[in-house]
Amino acid sequence: MTVRAAVAGASGYAGGELLRLLLAHPEIEIGALTGNSNAGQRLGALQPHLLPLADRVLSETSAEVLAGHDVVFLALPHGQSAAVAEQFGPDVLVVDMGADFRLKDAADWEKFYGSPHAGTWPYGLPELPGCRAALEGSKRIAVPGCYPTAVSLALFPAYGAGLAEPEAVIVAASGTSGAGKAPKPHLLGSEVMGSMSPYGVGGVHRHTPEMIQNLSAAAGERVSVSFTPTLAPMPRGILATCSAKAKPGVTAESVRAAYDKAFADEPFVHLLPEGQWPATASVYGSNAVQVQVTYDEAAGRIIAISAIDNLTKGTAGGAVQSMNLALGLDETTGLTTIGVAP
- From CA 211, how far away is CA 312, in angstroms rounded? 19
The question of whether 131 is a catalytic residue gets the answer: no
Task: Render 129-158 in DSSP notation, one character per residue.
Answer: TTHHHHHTT-SEEEPPPHHHHHHHHHHHHH
323 vs 335, which CB is nearer to its own copies?
Answer: 335
What are φ and ψ of residue 121, in 5° steps?
A: -110, 165
| Amino acid of residue 139 | K
Q: Binding string to its own copies for residues 206 to 245, with x set by CB under 8 A, is what? A: ------------------xxx-x-x-xxxxxx-x-x-x-x
According to CB under 8 A, which one of 40, 89, 90, 194 is a site residue for its own copies? 194
- The order of strands in the sheet holding 71-74 is 28-34, 3-8, 71-74, 93-96, 140-142
Output the CA–CA distances (angstroms, integers) from residue 277 to 55, 126, 273, 309, in the order listed: 42, 23, 8, 16
Catalytic member of 53, 84, 125, 146: 146
Q: Left if phi > 0, otherwise alpha if psi is -120 to 50, otherwise beta: which for 119?
A: left
Q: Does 145 participate in binding its own copies (rule CB under 8 A)?
A: no
Q: How far is the CB of 152 from its own copies (least distance, A)?
A: 17
Q: Does 285 participate in binding its own copies (rule CB under 8 A)?
A: yes
Span of 59-67, 69-77, 147-155, 284-292 interacting with its own copies by CB under 8 A: 284-292
Count the alpha carbons within 13 Å of 94 in the hemisphere toward its beta carbon.
Answer: 24
According to CB under 8 A, which one of 34, 176, 213, 321 is a site residue for its own copies? 176
- From CA 288, how far away is CA 311, in angstroms rounded? 12
Q: Does 251 participate in binding its own copies (rule CB under 8 A)?
A: no
- Provide the 8-state DSSP code for 34: E
Q: Binding string to its own copies for residues 302 to 331, with x set by CB under 8 A, is what? A: -x-x-x------------------------
Which residues in the 47-76 window bind its own copies by CB under 8 A?
47-52, 54
CB 67 within 8 A of CB 41: no
According to CB under 8 A, which one of 71, 85, 142, 192 is a site residue for its own copies? 192
Q: Does 191 participate in binding its own copies (rule CB under 8 A)?
A: yes
Span of 69-77, 98-106, 198-206, 321-329 interacting with its own copies by CB under 8 A: 198-206
Q: Does 37 participate in binding its own copies (rule CB under 8 A)?
A: no
Number of residues that bind its own copies (CB under 8 A): 93
Active-site amino acid positions:
146
